[in-house]
Structure 1
């Protein structure tokens, strides 16, 4: 195995303004620990309280969705891995990105949901959120890409972005990006 150049990786993280990066199997306790580290970092950086709360909420929503999805699928630890990055863009805004392995059909459905939300303004997103809240929940049905995704879109300062990279055996890698 080739030795990793940590200095070059560090320089790339600094250049891309990456504040936090995680790649691997994700558990409830790990989500909590990384969340605490993120909260402390945002506090030390004197992030505006509303931005810090939104970044934290989006991070939690994305990572919990990945964890629940993998658990519902009954996937192994390796299949349940996630990649999560919190960074800053050139305008100083926070960017929360998360990706994970999905069944391709589920990923395509998620892309469609993200694209439909991308066309909505703040007033329409609020109305969609309220409408979703009023819908009866079917306890037997997995409810992916519902209220949580709308909430992420509401907290974002620009439309959500998602991509799907097709892998093998009906699986793909789904990436979701929110700018706060």
Structure 2
């Protein structure tokens, strides 16, 4: 590939990101240390663009929850499935501005059998009031985590509480058998 082709591809990507007002984008493997470094960049980035204090907190909180969900639930792992520390899993996260609001979108592969469980958790959140979300959050804090859960219910409730619109989600087939792509969007 010659340098003009590389430059053209890179320029095209940058122009699309600028046009879509993307302020942060990462695709690759996530770990706790990578999340920590990205969190610093996100925190400084949203301060730099002048987001209000409450908005910064909500963006940061939702970013961390999305990144944690990738580390805990992505089906594309570099570490063994039963490993609960120093996990490293693949996904992507994007933060941008649309109109007067911010959006966060994440994507990662999941085991296909998790899709309906996620749908059953997310669909009710879309119709709950903020008071119902807060009550569900308090109830979840007081209960034991379901078997196999690493706290995702709390993370989803946190994002729903912080969002200014209902969470959006989608699933898409993957080329790999038994794997489904999961997409989640929060508007702040």
With normalisation by structure 1, the TM-score equals 0.89
Aligned-residue offset at 1:137 = 3.5
Task: State how 1:40-119 maps to structure 2 within 5 Å.
Answer: 40-70=44-74, 75-76=77-78, 80-90=89-99, 92-119=100-127
Query: How big is the shift at 1:75?
Result: 2.7
SS of match in other structure, 1:146: helix
Q: Give the Å deviation of 1:136.
A: 2.6
- Which residues of structure 2 form unaligned runs of 5+? 80-87
- Structure 1 residues 141 and 18, CA gap change in structure 2 (3 angstroms): same
Q: Distance in 2 between matches of 1:67 and 1:113?
A: 19
Contact map agreement 2:22 2:94 (CA 8 A) in 1: yes
1:4-41 C-alpha deviation (Å, 9 max, x unpaired): 61111111001111000101111211111111111111
Counterparts of 1:11 and 1:156, CA distance in 2: 28
Instruction: Name whichever of 120-129 and 1-10 sits farther off.
Output: 1-10
**2:34 is equivalent to residue 30 of structure 1:** yes
The match for 2:131 among 117, 123, 126 is 123
RMSD: 2.0
Q: Which residue of the partner structure matches residue 83 of structure 2?
A: none
Pair 1:9-2:17 in alignment: no
Distance 2:119 2:112 in 1: 10
Q: Runs of 4+ in structure 1 displaced over 3 angstroms?
A: 1-4
Q: Number of aligned pairs?
A: 175
* SS of 1:5 mapped into structure 2: helix
Gaps of 5+ in 1: none
TM-score, with normalisation over the residues of structure 2? 0.85
* CA distance 1:144–1:170, shift in 2 (3 Å): farther
